């Protein structure tokens, strides 16, 4: 069988193991490394060296891989936190890996590998921990507040982050205008992903998915003169059914939605200051203002976990603390520019809608979470690959069949 087929399945296993790693102990990260190394080795044998990236992706790559990682390692050494130097090196290797693999596979195929892994993750969770899913979906209150699903021991927001990324990919595929989507696979799988996200009660991921859905629907809406009539009607029918289903759910189960999302609770409700986020954001900003070196140069990747007793729950504020304000602004502006250019230049042949969906989801969710630039979870690699993806027509050879 072809090398790219084996490479794809090794990558699927690596994504899968990354998702269950909190429950798998210290041995799992070593297995992840082995699977990724084997996958990369096989990809080398089946690579397409003629590909090259656009200028925006080249600039973004060098800003991510060089200044951020170098400054993180330098500041970590300055503050004598040598464990964070190792993390900065690992981040650099991850960036280079994502950039390199994005020149070998078109993003649609790479996203398929991620979707397979997430499907296996969710099915494993249903088989092994169905009771927890059932309790979470019943909006059960405990002495510590709402019971939220923690898949494989992951934080609910982190689990919703990588499953939400997969849901964003499926939403984009549902509204592709260049091919007929496989609704019999996509819709049940999307329903399963959304169910798990709801069980985690991650409002940030749900909001990010809503924004992603709206933008994807708008940019992929078929034009009658450029699209076969049957496909245009099919697109409109799916959109109508989805909107009708959402409206029916909101009207029929409005009380349940308020309970499962903890809208009226004292600790997580609308009067909680963003579940304490607003207070943490203010404390983070105040602390950074009092440290000019940190404000301009940062304190090193992941250093907040050692220095601060709380999390900002905002990627942009966290990045200011880690790599400084100038680089944070530069990275954020460039990422937004890549997204805007991707939407502006969208067409179904040379621009994968999955890339746009992942970028929108990550940027919106990052307002309420700290996963925009990170490593160590299944979504981080695919998000980096989306940021750095080659915007070229799909390859003739794909690593495996796609959803």
The predicted structure's pLDDT at residue 161: 93
Does pLDDT of 42 surpass 90? Answer: no
The predicted structure's pLDDT at residue 392: 43
- Classify residue 243 as exposed, middle or buried by CB count within 10 Å of its CB (0-12, 13-18, 19+): exposed
The predicted structure's pLDDT at residue 139: 84
Which residues make Cβ contacts (< 8 Å) with residue 351, sequence separation at least 6?
A: 342, 345, 391
Does pLDDT of 172 surpass 70? Answer: yes
Tokens 């080659």 -> residue:
390
In a domain? residue 401: no
Does pLDDT of 75 surpass 70? Answer: yes
Range of lowest pLDDT (42-46, 51-55, 191-195, 240-244): 51-55
pLDDT in tens, 253-284: 667 777 877 777 766 766 655 566 777 788 88
In a domain? residue 245: yes
Task: Check if the beta carbon of residue 36 is closer than 8 Å to that of residue 13.
Answer: no
d(CA 55, CA 271) in angstroms, rounded, equals 45
Does pLDDT of 226 surpass 80? Answer: no
- What is the pLDDT of the chain when averaged over all its residues? 75
In a domain? residue 397: no
pLDDT in tens, 7-28: 777 778 778 877 887 766 655 6
In a domain? residue 398: no
Range of the domain at 383: 3-388
In a domain? residue 393: no
Range of lowest pLDDT (63-72, 102-111, 125-134): 63-72
**pTM: predicted TM-score of the whole model, two decimal places:** 0.83
The predicted structure's pLDDT at residue 340: 84
d(CA 83, CA 206) in angstroms, rounded, equals 34
In a domain? residue 395: no
Greater confidence (149 vs 3) lies with: 149
User: 200: pLDDT confidence band, cut at 50, 70 and 90?
Assistant: very high
User: 300: pLDDT confidence band, cut at 50, 70 and 90?
Assistant: confident
Number of domains within the chain:
1
Does pLDDT of 122 surpass 90? Answer: yes
Tokens 């999955």 -> residue:
354
Count other C-beta atoms under 10 Å from residue 403's C-beta: 16
Outline where 103-144 has alpha helix (H). Answer: 107-128, 130-137
């Amino acid at each position: 069988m072809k090398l790219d087929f084996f490479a794809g399945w090794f990558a699927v296993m690596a994504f899968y193991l990354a998702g269950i790693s909190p429950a798998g102990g210290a041995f799992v990260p070593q297995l992840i490394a082995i699977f990724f190394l084997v996958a990369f080795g096989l990809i080398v044998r089946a690579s397409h060296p003629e590909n090259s990236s656009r200028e925006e992706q080249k600039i973004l790559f060098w800003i991510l891989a060089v200044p951020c990682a170098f400054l993180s390692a330098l500041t970590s050494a300055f503050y004598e936190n040598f464990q964070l130097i190792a993390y900065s090196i690992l981040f650099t290797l991850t960036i280079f890996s994502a950039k390199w693999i994005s020149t070998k596979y078109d993003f649609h195929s790479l996203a398929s590998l991620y979707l397979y892994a997430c499907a296996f993750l969710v099915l494993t969770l249903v088989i092994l921990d169905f009771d927890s899913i059932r309790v979470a979906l019943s909006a059960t209150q405990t002495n510590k507040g709402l019971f939220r699903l923690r898949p494989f021991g992951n934080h609910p927001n982190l689990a919703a982050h990588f499953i939400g990324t997969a849901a964003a990919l499926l939403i984009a595929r549902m509204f592709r205008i260049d091919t007929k989507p496989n609704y019999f696979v996509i819709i049940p799988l999307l329903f399963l992903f959304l169910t798990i996200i709801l069980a985690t009660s991650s409002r940030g991921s749900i909001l990010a998915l809503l924004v992603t859905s709206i933008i994807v629907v708008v940019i992929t809406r078929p034009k009658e003169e450029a699209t076969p009539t049957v496909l245009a009607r099919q697109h409109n029918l799916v959109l109508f059914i989805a909107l009708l289903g959402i409206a029916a759910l909101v009207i029929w189960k409005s009380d349940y939605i308020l309970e499962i999302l903890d809208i009226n609770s004292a600790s997580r409700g609308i009067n909680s200051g963003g579940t304490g986020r607003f207070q943490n954001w203010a404390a983070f900003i105040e602390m950074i203002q009092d440290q000019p070196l940190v404000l301009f140069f940062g304190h090193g990747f992941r250093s907040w976990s050692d220095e601060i007793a709380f999390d900002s729950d905002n990627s942009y504020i966290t990045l200011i603390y880690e790599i400084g304000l100038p680089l944070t602004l530069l990275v954020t502006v460039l990422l937004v520019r890549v997204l805007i250019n991707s939407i502006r230049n969208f067409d179904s042949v040379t621009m994968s809608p999955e890339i746009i969906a992942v970028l929108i989801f990550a940027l919106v969710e990052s307002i309420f979470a700290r996963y925009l630039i990170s490593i160590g979870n299944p979504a981080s690699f695919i998000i980096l690959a989306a940021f750095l993806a080659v915007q070229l027509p799909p390859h003739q050879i794909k690593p495996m069949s796609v959803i």
